[in-house]
Amino acid sequence: MESGKQNEYAAFEEKVRRTVYLDNLSPNVTESVVRTALDQYGTVKSVEFIPNYLEPRNMPQCALVEMEKEKQAIVVISTLSEFPFMMSGMPRPVRARAAVAEMFGDRLRKPGRQIRIRWLDTADPDFEVASKLKQLVKRHATETAVMLKHQLEKEEKLAKQQGETLKANYKKYEMIDSLMADGAARRLARCYNLRVSDDSGPSTFH
């Protein structure tokens, strides 16, 4: 019986080693987006988003991505750590790191490990330490929420600017195409003694 549990936990550890933890994901990212983005590094076996019940829906989300092989997970982590990697709209670089067992909601208990839980009395020497830790956790949660909100506002502003730039560039190229199509560019070229390349290749002025 004990041997069976050890084998089961060993299989779970292997799964952890080939799993990548993705953070800072845009709220628009779906499972199919993650699969498409990471398929270039190997076969994606599963994608599990980690729910955050305490933050607004438009805040960054996280996911556990299980690759087919551990080597593939290592490549994903090193690549995303070295180069900016965007997914689905928002200009938010995705962060990647190796997953750990505590990230899995269905994690197995390690064979031989015992967990003891006890209430602390106010007279207990550890009570003050536990109280300080609790206050630190609350403070960290508040600071994180403020930081994420500020980050989202900046990213939405940047996304709007990028969208406006894209539309402006599209209108410029559209105008150039129309000038080439109706012959206006060639007439202007003759007026200013410029030569326009023939229609067999890209239209350019010389």
Which string of DSSP letters, residue by residue, matches 23-91?
A: EEE-TT--HHHHHHHHGGGS-EEEEEEE--SSS-TTS-EEEEEEESSHHHHHHHHHHHHHS----SSS-
Question: Which option is the CATH number for 1-98: 1.10.3210.10, 3.30.70.330, 3.40.190.10, 3.30.70.100?
Answer: 3.30.70.330
- Where the chain has pLDDT below 70, the residues are 1-2, 52-60, 88-92, 196-206
pLDDT of residue 89: 57
By three-state DSSP, how is residue 182 classified?
coil
pLDDT in the model for residue 97: 94
Give residue 15's pLDDT.
95
How is the chain split into domains, by residue range? 1-98, 118-194
Q: What is the pLDDT of residue 186?
A: 79
pLDDT number for residue 202: 46
**Overall pTM > 0.75:** no
The tens digit of pLDDT for each residue in 139-195 reads: 988 887 787 778 777 777 877 887 788 888 888 888 888 877 887 777 877 888 777
- What is the pLDDT at residue 3? 75
Q: CA 164 from chain center: how many Å?
A: 24
